[in-house]
Amino acid sequence: MKLSIPPAALPALNRDHLGQAAHQAVQELLQEGESANTRRSYQGALRYWAAWYQLRYGDRPALPWPPAVVMQFIVDHAQRSTPQGLVHELPPSVDTALVAARFKAKPGPMSLNWLIHRVAVLSKSHQLAGVANPCEDPLVRHLLGHTRRAYAKRGELPVKKDALTKDPLSALLATCDDSLKGLRDRALLLFAWSSGGRRRAEVSGAEMRFLKRVSEDAYIYQLLHSKSNQAGQDRPENDKPIQGEAARALSAWLDASGIQDGPLFRRVLKGGHLGPPLSPAAVRDIVKARCQLAGLEGDFSAHSLRSGFVTEAGAQGIALAQTMAMTSHRSVATVMGYMRTQSAQVRAAATLMDGERPGLNRKVPD
C-alpha cells in the first residue's frame, strides 16, 4: 500500500545528513544514556588534553589530531627506565603550569591507568566526530602496548583500595549512633555492602520506587541500570535482596527520616532537616569519614565496599556464581579482580597438598 502526505505538510528530509532537530535529538539521547560520572570523566580528560596541547604547541587543538601529537603525549606522561633512573618528557615548566591551573593535582608523572584513560577518551572523541583516529595509528598502538609491558616488567601494578570485609565494616557501623545522620550512614553502608557491593553512583541514585518490602526483615531492591547493565536489560540478578541487619537498618532510617518516595539517601541538614540526594562524592566521603572515626589504617574508599563484599564472600565459601549474581558482574576475570588475597578461596587454592579435603581423600574401591 502506498502512503502519501500532502506536499506542504512536512519538509523534505536529506537522506545523507541529519536535520537540525534530529541532530539535537541524537545529542540529547546520547547525553541521557550516558552516566553522569562518565560524562564528567570525559570532560575532565578532554580539558586536560586541550590544556596540554596549548602549552606544548602554542595553539588551540582541532580534530583530527596527528598521530605524532598522541605519541608526544604518551612519552610526556609515561616513565621509562634509563641509566639515570625513571624519566619522562614533560617539561617542568609545562608541568608547573598544569598544576597551577588545576589540571593536575600535583607535579610529576601520572599513573598508567590515567594515561590509558586519556588516550581512550581522545580516541572516542575522534570516533564520534567521524574523523581519522590517531589513536588507531599502528605506531601509536605499538607504543602504547609496549608502554604497558614496560610498566608490567617494573612491577608497577594498578593501586587497589583496601577491602572493607565484615570485621572492618563492623567497626564502621559501630561509629554510627542513633542520630538521623548516624541512622542514615548505617543504612547506607549496609545497603551498599549487603546488596552486593554497590558502586557509589548506584547508592546515590537509589530511589524508593525501586524498593519493595517483602517481610519485616527483608527488602528487594530492583537495580535496573548499572555500569554492568547500561542497557537496562531485564535480568534475574537485577533484584538485590536486602535482609537481616541491613533491612533493619534501612527500616530505621526510613522511619526516622519519613522518606516515602524519591531518593533513598539524602543529606541531613542542620536541625535534622532532609536536604537533596547525596552525590556519588558524598557517598565516598561518608565511607572515608567513618573509616577515620573507626581508626582503620589503610587506603579505603567507596569502592572498598565492593571489594570487601567479594572478598568476604570468598572467605565464607560462597559460590562464585552466587557472588556474581549479587555484584552483577558478567565476567569471572573482572569479579576476581575485586578479591583480595585474604579470601579463603585464594588461600585454599594455595594449600591443596596440605591436610584432608572432602572428596579428595576417599578410598579407591577395589
Residue 90 has pLDDT above 70, yes or no: yes
| pLDDT confidence bin for 247, thresholds 50/70/90 | very high
Query: Looking at the structure, do residues 87 and 176 belong to the same domain, yes or no?
Result: no
pLDDT at position 353: 58
Q: Which of 8-12, 221-225, 269-273 has the lowest mean pLDDT?
A: 8-12
146 and 80 in contact (C-beta within 8 Å)? no
Query: Looking at the structure, do residues 216 and 112 belong to the same domain, yes or no?
Result: no
Residue 133 in any domain: the answer is yes
Query: Looking at the structure, do residues 121 and 220 belong to the same domain, yes or no?
Result: no
pLDDT at position 10: 59
- The mean per-residue pLDDT over the stretch 200-218 comes to 92
Residue 16 in any domain: the answer is no
134 or 10: which carries more pLDDT confidence? 134
Residue 151 has pLDDT above 80, yes or no: yes
| pLDDT confidence bin for 360, thresholds 50/70/90 | very low
pLDDT at position 231: 53
Q: Residue 112: exposed, middle, or buried by beta-carbon count in 10 A (0-12, 13-18, 19+)?
A: buried
Residue 31 in any domain: the answer is no
Q: Residue 194: exposed, middle, or buried by beta-carbon count in 10 A (0-12, 13-18, 19+)?
A: buried
pLDDT at position 298: 87
pLDDT at position 366: 47
For the record, the C-alpha cell of 99 comes out as 598544576
Taking alpha carbons only, the member of 117, 116, 133 closest to residue 125 is 133
| CATH number for position 236 | 1.10.443.10
Query: Looking at the structure, do residues 214 and 341 belong to the same domain, yes or no?
Result: yes
171 or 339: which carries more pLDDT confidence? 171
- For 63, phi then psi, to 5°, come to -75, 145
Residue 175 has pLDDT above 90, yes or no: yes
Residue 356 in any domain: the answer is no
Q: Residue 140: exposed, middle, or buried by beta-carbon count in 10 A (0-12, 13-18, 19+)?
A: buried
- The mean per-residue pLDDT over the stretch 272-287 comes to 92
Angle at 317 between CA 216 and CA 239, to 5 degrees: 40
| pLDDT confidence bin for 228, thresholds 50/70/90 | low
Instruction: List, for residues 320-330, the tens digit of each pLDDT value.
Output: 888 888 888 77
| Last residue of one domain, picked from the residues 153, 177, 204 | 153
Query: Looking at the structure, do residues 241 and 298 belong to the same domain, yes or no?
Result: yes
The DSSP code for 227 is T
Query: Looking at the structure, do residues 136 and 191 belong to the same domain, yes or no?
Result: no
| Last residue of one domain, picked from the residues 118, 153, 188 | 153
- The mean per-residue pLDDT over the stretch 144-155 comes to 90
| pLDDT confidence bin for 291, thresholds 50/70/90 | very high
| pLDDT confidence bin for 123, thresholds 50/70/90 | very high
Q: How far apart are the first and last CA of the chain?
A: 79
Residue 21 in any domain: the answer is no
Q: Which residue has the cell 580539558?
A: 47
Query: Looking at the structure, do residues 234 and 171 belong to the same domain, yes or no?
Result: yes
210 and 221 in contact (C-beta within 8 Å)? yes
| Last residue of one domain, picked from the residues 130, 153, 176 | 153
Query: Looking at the structure, do residues 125 and 171 belong to the same domain, yes or no?
Result: no
Query: Looking at the structure, do residues 190 and 326 belong to the same domain, yes or no?
Result: yes
Query: Looking at the structure, do residues 339 and 282 belong to the same domain, yes or no?
Result: yes
The domain in which residue 94 lies consists of 36-153
Residue 279 in any domain: the answer is yes
Residue 241 in any domain: the answer is yes
Query: Looking at the structure, do residues 149 and 253 belong to the same domain, yes or no?
Result: no
Q: How far apart are CA 208 and CA 227, in angstroms?
A: 20
| CATH number for position 116 | 1.10.150.130
Residue 66 has pLDDT above 80, yes or no: yes
Residue 159 in any domain: the answer is no
pLDDT at position 262: 95
What is the CB neighbour count within 10 angstroms for residue 19? 12
pTM of full prediction above 0.75: no
Count how many domains the chain has: 2
Residue 149 has pLDDT above 60, yes or no: yes
**Bridge partner residues of 82 (DSSP):** 85
Query: Looking at the structure, do residues 194 and 299 belong to the same domain, yes or no?
Result: yes
The DSSP code for 189 is H
> Counting every residue, how long is the chain?
366
211 and 219 in contact (C-beta within 8 Å)? yes
Q: How far apart are CA 76 and CA 74, in angstroms?
A: 5
313 or 236: which carries more pLDDT confidence? 313
What is the CB neighbour count within 10 angstroms for residue 248? 17
pLDDT at position 327: 84
